[in-house]
Amino acid sequence: MSTDAEVVVVGAGAAGMTAALRAARGGRVIVFEKSTRHGCNTQYSSGSLAAGGTRLQAEAGIEDSPERHARDILAASGDPGAAALVRAVCAAAPRYVDWLVDELGHPLELGIDMPRAGQSVPRLHTDPGRGGGKVLVRTLRHAMSAVADITFVDETPAVGLRYDGTRVTGVRVREHTGEQEVTADDVVLACDGYGNNPDLLRRFAPDAATAFHGGVSTSHGDAVIWGERIGAGLRNMGAYLGHGQVVAGHGTRLNPNLPFLGALMVDGDGRRFCDEKAQGYSRLGGLIRRLPGERAVMIWDEPAHEVARHSELMRESIEAGAFRRYADLSSLAGGLGLPEDTLGRTLDGFVAASDLVKRPVERLRPPWYAAWITHGILTTQGGLLIDAEGHVLRPDGTPIPGLSAAGGAATGISGPSPDGYSSGNGLLAAMGVGWIVGNRLGSAG
Ligand SMILES: Cc1cc2nc3c(=O)[nH]c(=O)nc-3n(C[C@H](O)[C@H](O)[C@H](O)COP(=O)(O)OP(=O)(O)OC[C@H]3O[C@@H](n4cnc5c(N)ncnc54)[C@H](O)[C@@H]3O)c2cc1C
């Protein structure tokens, strides 16, 4: 029976657009997007792509490989059950980084200045202007518009799956004229997770249900809801990308490099509560959640600020007036409402060392910059159970024919909790599984 398209993709973020671009080599692809006006997480992200063993790393004299990348991720996630999926996306990463640069003309450089906890070598790749995920989205959309076999339909959410009791045969979508059925040989769910669905968060990740949500509003968990209805398995549902450097009262974030530039963090009593450099920003979110008032203060000095201020996140925080500069200890303590004597002792006892810039190993000196920070959830990292080829599976491990999932719609690679997230895992799961699924479907045609 002829179908409306070989492949229907639900969602036009990194996962969906990558899958569509690769799948279109095998036939007609229709991409349904809920709303580009509201955007996707990819667009709101920093756009940093983790990849091990790339040409850009080799040119910078950095020895890395997909195997080493996978080892780092698994050590942080503590989820050996995901090893096959992790190895598959790590193997895909250097290939799609080359594809982005060579075939799509996407500007990328190695972020030598972007160390992250748990990453044994620098492997985040970013656009040179540090423009963030919107640059990546622009590249992928532009590439889709040049492919005749891809039809991109915006402001048209999928509202359910067509399922004949055995296989998925298409989707139902809501157009302005009403609901339509669209048939396809294969459906790819790439519509992210449930970060903006309080009911699903209460059920699966109650810690995050009342936290600040810094992700996109369209993440309603549609893939999980539809998948459960037809018997799909779910995995790692308590995992999410948290953030511990959300500026309280503003919702902007600080540059995650700050701890590596010599910044320190104190609690409401003016005391340090962790080794700043040992925490990924997702794990840090959990530490801050457990502090009184669920907040802490980040303090940094002029040498750190001079470097940190050039990031997209910091530019947004500066524009929002999200932190202040303090000339001396008494204005710092008074401005933040911290006890001056304890804060003074903490600052006296802290040695600012930096892995990133040449700065004297010394006490932080005024003027200081500081902000109250809190925790938040950016995106969920659990979802539909998939194998290493992106097929959606039932709990017993058998595939549901005709259905694939990628990115935030599918189970991620960060283990069962927010503590297992390694920087770059979100886009790795999105682009990596999108690439694998798209290549599989593209070569099937
Ligand atoms: C602030 C922030 C910063 C981040 N920084 C990074 C980073 O630097 N590096 C990194 O690796 N990860 C980062 N992440 C995580 C990363 O952005 C996500 O994990 C990744 O973008 C998910 O990609 P996706 O394609 O699965 O989902 P998305 O990019 O969210 O795309 C999903 C799309 O599906 C659409 N959609 C939803 N429901 C439907 C429906 N029913 N019908 C049709 N369309 C639908 C949505 O509108 C959206 O356009 C960050 C996330 C946030 C929020």
Percent of the chain, pLDDT > 70? 97
Domain 251-377 matching CATH 3.30.70.980: the answer reads: no
Q: Over 70: is that where the pLDDT of 226 sits? A: yes
**Rounded average pLDDT over 189-209:** 96
Using the Cα atoms of residue 102, residue 103, residue 107 and residue 108 in order, give the sign of their dihedral: negative
pLDDT digits (tens, 9 = 90+) for 397-435: 999 999 999 999 999 999 999 999 998 999 999 999 999
Q: Whose CA is nearest to atom 37 of ligand 1?
A: 191
Report CA(409)–ligand 1 centroid distance (Å): 9
* 300-351: pLDDT as tens digits: 999 899 989 988 889 999 999 999 999 999 999 999 999 999 999 999 999 8
Residue with tokens 């790393």: 57
CA of 428 to the centre of ligand 1 (A): 11
What pLDDT shows up at residue 118?
Answer: 77
- Take atom 33 of ligand 1 and give the residue whose Cα is closest: 11
- State mean pLDDT over 57-74: 96
Amino acid at 173: V
Nearest partner of 230 among 392, 381, 386, judged by Cα: 392
Q: Which residues are bridge partners to 409 per DSSP?
A: none
Q: What is the mean pLDDT of the chain?
A: 94
- Atom 42 (ligand 1): residue with closest C-alpha? 157
- The predicted pLDDT at position 357 comes to 65
Q: Which atom of ligand 1 is nearest to the CA of 425?
A: 11
pLDDT at 355: 65
Q: Into which CATH architecture does domain 5-239+381-444 fall? A: 3-Layer(bba) Sandwich (3.50)
Radius of gyration, CA atoms only, the chain? 22
What does DSSP say about strands 49-50 and 124-126: parallel, antiparallel, or unpaired?
A: antiparallel
The finding on whether 135 has its CB within 6 A of some atom of ligand 1 is no
**Is the beta carbon of 42 within 6 A of some atom in ligand 1?**
yes
Rounded Cα distance, 408 and 232, in Å: 15
Q: How far is it, in rounded angstroms, from Cα 86 to Cα 390? A: 12
pLDDT at 328: 96
Q: Measure Cα distances from 247 to 254, 294, 296, 317 in Å.
A: 7, 12, 10, 8
* Ligand 1 pocket, mutate which of 191, 212, 422 (most atoms under 8 A from CB): 191
Model confidence pLDDT, tens digit, residues 35-63? 999 999 999 998 999 999 999 999 999 99
Hey, which of 30, 40, 144 would you mutate to test ligand 1's pocket, going by the most ligand atoms within 8 Å of its Cβ? 40
- Topology alike, domains 5-239+381-444 and 251-377: no
Residue 445, pLDDT > 50, answer: no
Q: What is the pLDDT of residue 356?
A: 63
Domain boundaries, the chain: 5-239+381-444, 251-377
Residue with tokens 């006006």: 37
Lookup result for tokens 């989707």: 171
pLDDT at 103: 96
Report whether pLDDT(288) > 60. yes
Residue nearest to atom 18 of ligand 1 (CA): 426
pLDDT tops 60 at residue 225: yes
The three-class DSSP label of residue 27 is coil
Number of C-beta neighbours around residue 334 at 10 A: 12
Give the pLDDT confidence score for residue 359 in this predicted structure: 67
Taking only the tens place, the pLDDT of each residue in 369-384 is 999 999 999 999 999 9
Please say whether the dihedral angle defined by the alpha carbons of residues 220, 11, 14 and 153, taken in this order, is positive or negative.
negative
